């Protein structure tokens, strides 16, 4: 091998060493990104408990001297949407919307979390709230709950967090 | 300059370059290690906050129960009010369970005048706080038969 060839080989070795160094430093940087187990777990807890807890919540709407829960209002809104609360807070559907709106406004919206909440029976929408999380957003977490009604149909409740 | 001198100069330059690369590598490595340990500490704090929140939800002193049947994700408001006093007077006992955290429950809907109930507060010194952990739960008021939508907020401190 000539001397010039030897020098080129030497240069190549140095270039390979530099490339290896850059590769490993990038690899180290990407693998050492923080694992977000705790944050993920916390978010999962938040989203998975949100809708079931909301359904149990007492509302301002009174039927037969008892304050209805959101779950009860949802049932009434599906089975008898014209039924009005006895304490002048509107119909079951209006009271349902008001209660859900207050909860979402004071939690997810206040914390700056983008969300959409949808309650529907098949193609018929019962209620829908959204804050920066429309259908065009691809990266989201969805929690679905099926709530049976006394009419025999199921209400699908979707909470989407983007 | 003689040929031998040029060759030894070349060797010295190569040695210097390799040494510089090694030093830069060590600096990078130690920097990442430092950042990593900070991240690990943050993560540890967050995990601690999540674990404390879960313990708190399942705490027998607070859980709703009807005819000995316990309800999930539910805190009894009367027990909660009583617990605030107990946790202050038995701080050492609850410090073993909850450590360096601040725990509070905020009633979201229906709202009351007293919206935020501080259950446990770490009394020691702290320099930083991790991100909050929020867990939705029901606060049941058995006297008025009202179920409040509430958020338990756990803040881990260090």
Tens digit of each residue's pLDDT (9 = 90 or more) over A93-152:
999 999 999 999 999 999 888 999 999 998 899 999 999 888 888 888 899 999 999 989
B46 to chain A, closest Cα gap in Å: 6
Q: What is the distance between the alpha carbons of residues B142 and B77, in angstroms, rounded to a whole number?
A: 7
Average pLDDT, chain B: 84
A54 touches chain B (CB under 8 A): yes
The two tokens of residue B51 are 């674990």
Place of tokens 């983007």: A162
Mean pLDDT of B99-120: 86
Greater confidence (B113 vs A83) lies with A83
Beta strand segments in B30-158, E: 63-66, 69-76, 101-109, 116-121, 133-141, 146-156
Sign of CA dihedral B141, B144, B147, B152: negative
Contact criterion met (CB < 8 Å) for B43 and A34: yes
- For chain A positions 6-25, those within 8 Å of chain B (CB to CB) are 14, 17-18, 21, 25
Predicted pLDDT at A150: 92
pLDDT at B156 over 70: yes
- Rounded CA gap, B47 and B41, in Å? 10
Sign of CA dihedral A38, B107, A111, A102: positive
Contact B109 A37 (CB under 8 A): no
**A1: contact with B, CB 8 A cutoff:** no
pLDDT at residue B61 above 80?
A: yes
Q: What is the pLDDT of residue A28?
A: 64
Q: Mean pLDDT lowest for which of A95-104, B14-23, B28-37, B78-87?
A: B28-37
pLDDT at B143 over 70: yes
Kindly state the percentage of chain B with pLDDT values over 70: 94
Sequence-separated (6 or more) residues with CB below 8 Å from residue B11: none
pLDDT at A34: 45
A41 interfaces chain B, CB cutoff of 8 Å: yes
Does residue B150 register a pLDDT over 90? yes
Residue B132: predicted pLDDT? 78
Task: Please give the average per-residue pLDDT across A73-84, as a whole number.
Answer: 91
**What's the pLDDT at A1?**
65
What residues of chain B lie within 8 A of the CB of A103, using their CB? Answer: 108-109, 149
Between A and B, how many residue pairs show a Cβ–Cβ distance under 8 A?
93
How far apart, in whole angstroms, are the C-alpha atoms of residue A114 and residue A138?
Answer: 13
More confident residue, A156 or A32: A156
Question: Does the beta carbon of A31 lie under 8 angstroms from any beta carbon of chain B?
Answer: no
The residue among A32, A47, A58, A112 with the most chain B CBs within 10 A of its CB, best to mutate, is A58
Closest in B43, B54, B138 to A56, CB measured: B138
Q: What is the pTM of this model?
A: 0.75
Nearest by CB to A53, which of B21, B54, B136? Answer: B136
Any B CB within 8 A of A98 CB: no
């Amino acid at each position: 091998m000539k001397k010039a060839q030897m020098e080129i080989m030497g240069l190549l070795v140095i270039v390979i060493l530099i490339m290896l160094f850059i590769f490993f430093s990038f690899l180290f940087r990407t693998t050492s990104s923080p694992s977000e187990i705790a944050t993920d777990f916390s978010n999962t807890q938040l989203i998975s408990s949100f809708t079931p807890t909301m359904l149990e919540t007492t509302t301002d709407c009174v039927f037969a001297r008892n304050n209805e829960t959101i779950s009860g209002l949802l049932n009434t809104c599906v089975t008898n949407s014209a039924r009005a609360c006895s304490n002048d807070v509107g119909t079951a559907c209006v009271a349902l919307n008001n209660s859900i709106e207050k909860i979402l406004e004071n939690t997810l919206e206040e914390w700056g979390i983008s969300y959409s909440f949808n309650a529907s029976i098949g193609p018929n929408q019962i209620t829908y709230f959204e804050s920066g999380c429309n259908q065009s957003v691809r990266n989201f977490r969805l929690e679905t709950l099926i709530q049976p009604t006394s009419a025999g149909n199921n209400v699908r409740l979707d909470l989407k967090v983007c | 300059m003689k040929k031998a001198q040029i060759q030894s100069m070349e060797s010295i330059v190569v040695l210097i370059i390799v040494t510089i690369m090694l030093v830069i590598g060590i600096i990078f490595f130690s920097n990442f290690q430092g950042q990593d340990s900070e991240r690990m500490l943050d993560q540890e704090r967050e995990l601690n906050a999540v674990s404390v929140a879960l313990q708190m939800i399942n705490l027998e002193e607070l859980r709703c129960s009807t005819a000995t049947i316990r309800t999930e994700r539910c805190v009894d408001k009367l027990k909660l009010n009583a617990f605030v006093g107990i946790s202050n007077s038995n701080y050492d006992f609850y410090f073993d369970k909850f450590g360096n955290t601040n725990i509070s429950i905020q009633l979201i809907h229906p709202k009351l005048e007293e919206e935020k109930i501080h259950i446990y507060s770490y009394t020691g010194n702290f320099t930083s706080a991790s991100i909050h952990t929020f867990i939705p739960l029901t606060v049941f008021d058995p006297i008025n038969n009202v179920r409040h939508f509430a958020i338990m907020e756990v803040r881990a401190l260090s």
